[in-house]
Amino acid sequence: MRAMLLRHPWSAAGGAFTPLELDNVPVPAPADGEVLVRVSACAVCRTDLDVAEGRVVAPRYPVIPGHQVIGRVAGVGRAASGRREGDRIGIAWIHSACGVCRWCTRGEENLCPYFESTGCDANGGYAEYVTARADFTHPIPDLLSDFEAAPLLCAGAIGWRSLALTQMHDGDALGLSGFGASGHLVLQLAQKRFPRSAIYVFARSPSERAFALELGARWAGDTADAPPEALAAIIDTTPAWKPVVDSLAHLMPGGRLVVNAIRKSRSDQAELQRLDYATHLWMEREIKSVANVTRADVQDLLAFAAESGLRPTVETIRLEQANAALTALRSAGGIHGATVLRFDLNSGTL
């Protein structure tokens, strides 16, 4: 099968950013409890960039990235219940969890100390086939196309979790710092769940700000701009520290900043020295991080999207263009919505 391999974290200075290599590798066989999936679509995520650049380290290399995978079951391992050949399913970031720890038994499997991720701890969907535990796969509603469903598995699901963690109420003003794949879905989620809430978007790119206004944001400005009113909650999806510090100053008393990022860049970590207790934290302002997703997050978001008409804006590209997609994320080049790798189900080897 064709696959984009990350042989080691990217470390070259200058030149084209090409961390992934297109190669032929054997089709994996499903182990006990697993299914083999013929991939039809895999959305590109900023976390894939974190894996490619080594901020998130895989336990072994080479590894195949990709954790927003749509496809059909092509094989079923022993004791893999609930899935049959031909089923259309999705595979998300959560590849597995132990099921018995204090967090798993409380419905917080995203915090499991034995949490394993698709596309990092286990090979992911930048390939024509992938295996996954059957009980960690998700049926895809018929109303969603493959390309529409793929970004919902992470950008949508983590946005769903982030929005819940804001603890906001209808009518509360919400800020979104950063406006990529997750941000454009959270804006639409918030509009549907909190129709009386004004949404304010902070983004460096003028085209992203224009896109946010097209989708219904009340206001859009640069990350350093002050919004027209203090905000009850802000969701940060940027890779940087500066927007975190800036966002705290925009919260109303008791407001909450939810940081939706698996890692933050070290390049602007000095921005944290601007933190002033009275300005940024006093009056019970708080910061909450988001860690991974649960299966329930994914399932709830997929059901909500099918019922409510929530759909991502999508650009599709070929598997071999994955490096270009990661380069666009790396340069913060004003991507509108989500990028999805498409697969020719009739293709063979290279």
Taking only the tens place, the pLDDT of each residue in 123-157 is 999 999 999 999 999 999 999 999 999 999 999 99
Angle between helices 295-308 and 181-193 (to 10 degrees): 60
Predicted local confidence at residue 182, as pLDDT = 94
DSSP sequence for 98-140: -SSSTTGGGT-GGG-TT-EEBTTTB--SSBSEEEEEGGGEEEP
Query: For residue 255, what are the CA distances in angstroms to 175, 176, 202, 288?
Result: 11, 14, 17, 11
Tens of pLDDT, residues 216-270 = 999 999 988 999 999 999 999 999 999 999 999 999 999 999 999 999 988 899 9
Quote the CA–CA distance of 51 and 125 in Å, as a whole number: 14
Which residue bears the tokens 């590209």? 317
- 160 and 304 Cβ atoms separated by less than 8 Å: yes
Quote the CA–CA distance of 183 and 179 in Å, as a whole number: 4
Query: What CATH number has the domain spanning 157-289?
Result: 3.40.50.720
- 184 and 216 Cβ atoms separated by less than 8 Å: no
For 2-154+293-342, the fitting CATH number among 3.40.50.800, 3.90.180.10, 3.40.140.10, 3.30.160.270 is: 3.90.180.10
- Range from 115-119, 236-240, 334-338 carrying the lowest mean pLDDT: 334-338
Residue 304 pLDDT level (bands cut at 50, 70, 90): very high
Tens of pLDDT, residues 169-196 = 999 999 999 999 999 999 999 999 999 9
Cis ω on the peptide bond leading into residue 62 (within 30° of 0)? yes
Residue 334 has pLDDT above 70, yes or no: no
Domain range summary for the chain, segments of one domain joined by +:
2-154+293-342, 157-289
- 6 and 58 Cβ atoms separated by less than 8 Å: yes
Quote the CA–CA distance of 7 and 242 in Å, as a whole number: 32
Residue 350 has pLDDT above 90, yes or no: no
